A = this chain, B = another copy of it.
Amino acid sequence: MAKRTRVTRQKAATIADVARLAGVSVATVSRTLARPEVVIEETRIRVLAAVRDTGYMPNISARNLRVRKTMVVLVAVPDIANPFFAEVLQGIDDTLSVAGYGLIIANLAGPPEKEARYVDLVCAGQADGVLLLCGHVIRSPDRDLREARVPLVAACEYIPRENFPQVTIDNVGTAREAVGHLIELGHASIAYLSGPKSNILEQQRLEGYLQALREAGIAADAGLILPGDFTFRAGVEAGRALLALEPVARPTALFAANDEMAIGLIKTVHAAGLQIPDDLSVVGFDGIAYADYCEPTLTTIVQPRRDLGATAAAELIALMTTGKAGLRKDINLPATLALRDSTRPPRKRPGHLRS
């Protein structure tokens, strides 16, 4: 019976240890593991036994160095604590992990110099590809991801003037649909709770809001466009702003650029005695899990969060393996308006008749 040369091995076994124990060369061990069929049965058995006995695992750094791959992708996400992104991440993780990829998460919430560190990481060959959920190509003062020729795919937030694949939903169209729903219910005084002006999603959703009003022949009122920044707190503040208005000047409905703000707003105006949806109909955007938990449940545009992630991941895998992207460069996934309890026709009050 064969014996290990060193019975009590402190450090992990290497391929040489396995080769020695099995009485073959390192090349044979490597081949047995990579392409078992090219090795004769008898040696295969010996090698596999030796692998088992030594508890051998190929050293990934060595392999990476040799084959110039890492089987890791970096995901840049604006805020990992945001439930929307958490669900997109799930989709990414599902797809990537069955393909054997690990994922490094670059959480951009926090000090901005972290972003640069991640870019450097990728440029140093620590990742085979990058998934951007953050609306911009992540930057470092002295290195550029695009020059590094790393496969890139963006998702969720569209990045204009780039030519890598992007996976998004039709933000303009669905925002128009959301506001259209309010108009169909009979609302004519519809406020918009916006995101940060520089954000592309904000711009698109605002555009959809304006389009819907225009189509219905309703004049947009700048006073009904409330500033926000996608946070719950912004929703609370917008709620206060609404309450500060003369009741008769208040809109009968509101479209929020995302769910968190919508929920913050609802909570605030409800606490002040307004009935939702009777006194104010509210539509959100995103379809986070909580939109279905809150009171009342929130009518909102439900984004296919897992699907966005999964599709982007699949596209990136295509890009990394074949070098060429799939058929379409810009992929649009369907998002749907979920009708729930926060919308209803307006109360008949003279102050709210069509202008």
Contact = CB atoms under 8 A, between A and B. Distances in A.
Interface of A: 12, 52, 55, 57-62, 64-65, 70, 72, 80-83, 86-87, 89-90, 93-94, 97, 100, 102-105, 107, 109-110, 114, 117, 120-121, 123-126, 142-143, 147-148, 232, 263-264, 267, 270-271, 289-290, 293-295
Contacts of A105: 93, 103, 105
For A87, A102, A147, A263, which residue has the most chain B Cβ atoms within 10 angstroms?
A102
A87 to B, nearest CB: 5
B263 A293 contact: yes
A339 to B, nearest CB: 17
A62 B65 contact: yes
**What is the total number of copies of this protein in its complex?**
2
Contacts of A126: 60-61, 102
A120 B65 contact: no
A236 to B, nearest CB: 9
Contacts of A104: 72, 102-104
B70 A81 contact: no
Contact of A80 (B93, B121, B147): B93
Closest 3 CB pairs of A and B: A61-B64, A61-B65, A57-B124
B59 A125 contact: yes
B60 A125 contact: yes
Contacts of A147: 55
Contacts of A267: 293-295
Given A72-B104, A86-B81, A58 B124 contact: yes
A12 B83 contact: no
Contact of A60 (B121, B264, B293): B121
Nearest to A97: B114
Nearest to A270: B295
A176 B93 CA distance: 38
A263 B107 CA distance: 28
B87 A81 contact: yes
11 contacts: A55-B143, A60-B121, A61-B126, A80-B90, A81-B289, A83-B83, A90-B107, A90-B109, A97-B117, A100-B117, A267-B295
B65 A232 contact: no
Contact of A89 (B59, B80, B87, B232): B80
A194 B57 CA distance: 42
Given A70-B61, A290-B290, A102 B90 contact: no
Given A65-B62, A264-B293, A294-B294, A86 B80 contact: yes
Contacts of A125: 12, 57, 59-61
Contacts of A72: 104
Contacts of A86: 80-83, 86
